[in-house]
Amino acid sequence: MIAVLADDFTGAAELAGISLRYGLKVSLFTREVRDTGADVLIVSSDSRSMSKNDALEETARLLKALIELNPTLIYKKTDSVMRGYVVDELKLQQDLQGLKKIFYLPANPSLNRIIDKGHYYVGGQPIADTDFANDPEFPVSSSLVKEILKDPDIEVLSPGSSLPPNGFFVGEASQTEDVEQWATVLDQHTLAAGAGDFFTAILLQQFTAIDKPDPGLSLPVVYVCGTAYAAAVRFVQQAQPDGWVEYLSQDSILHPERLDQDLVDSCKYRLLTHEKLILAIDGKMIPEGVTAQDLRTSMAKVTQWILRRNIIHELFIEGGSTATAILGELKISELEPVNEWQRGVVRMKYGNLYITVKPGSYALPEQIRQLFS
């Protein structure tokens, strides 16, 4: 069995989709570890949305449970642009597993996210010049990998370099071939960590990809937009004039514990009329002093009310922390991954409900674009 510990839910789902691509049986849990006999056991800690102390405590708890299962590998999935408590969590895992070295490869060349000469580039731009500089919780102020990770002892290695016996290393990668080469240098003394491309390269060492049909969509559909990423915000704004968008009210944001009947009734009307709904947050309407956690809680409460009062077949959630908050509100801790729409966009089943999650910075599937266009 291969185990994966991811620091957010969309990252966990992304690796579930990659595993499905290779015909592997996958189990996906949120903040829980249980042996299901799956080929790949994936656990989301959601540590990226916690305080540092809570993140390390939760990471340690889940790692100890995974180590008890004696998997062949525990892969640490982090954000591809290194947001979160990356260094602290990796060093903690190294200590708990008693490993000599860490090899970290966050670049995703297949998504045009590369590391070259110690700098991180997204779409050809230094990462500090992109939307990631405005991240509300982990803003990026430098494009140098060592400065992003805030650890001068980390060594950045160019492709083709040998891996020293001890230390913390980050691999440069500008193309898929670089990532695949790095996968060949791993041994039993190395903690392997990084993004989706590196996990794919590791699976390629053992398995062969299979063809999978594209999933369909079954109405009614609720699409929850829980990200401030510019492309997602534009998509919602373009859909708003067609009558498919409902923005959270200020009352529902300030008092998530109290049902906003007008908001829920409006959502119900849109679903009865169109069988599709986009639930979003208007940045201009956020009251002063409201935190990102407050917004996630509000979105989770409203989503729960909608699902409780309407028959919904498909729930599409954009944003990892938002997905975790909604699943927590719905008391869902285990999902069955069934389809990969595209890289990072994975459809899972819980009872009669299909739940798809997507990172905010990834592209929307064409089927969703067509549904709301």
- pLDDT < 70 regions, the chain: none
CATH number assigned to the domain with residue range 221-371, chosen from the 4 options 3.40.980.20, 3.40.50.620, 2.60.40.10, 3.40.228.10: 3.40.980.20
Give tens-digit pLDDT for 135-151: 878 888 899 999 999 99
Strand partners, 341: none
Distance from C-alpha of 345 to C-alpha of 106, rounded to nearest angstrom: 18
Torsional class of 240: left (φ above 0), alpha (ψ -120 to 50), beta (otherwise): alpha
Distance from C-alpha of 260 to C-alpha of 250, rounded to nearest angstrom: 10
What is the DSSP annotation of 205-247?
Answer: TT------PPP---SSEEEEE----HHHHHHHHHHGGGT-EEE
pLDDT attached to residue 20: 93
CA distances (Å), origin 36, targets 3, 25, 33, 263: 12, 10, 9, 40
Residue whose entry in the numeric block shows the structure tokens 């590369």: 114
Start-end of CATH 3.40.980.20 domains in the chain? 221-371
Start-end of CATH 3.40.50.10840 domains in the chain? 2-204
The domain over range 2-204 is classified in CATH as 3.40.50.10840: yes
Whether 52 contacts 12, CB under 8 Å: no
Whether 248 contacts 298, CB under 8 Å: yes
Whether 1 contacts 19, CB under 8 Å: no
pLDDT attached to residue 244: 86
> What is the amino acid identity at position 83?
R
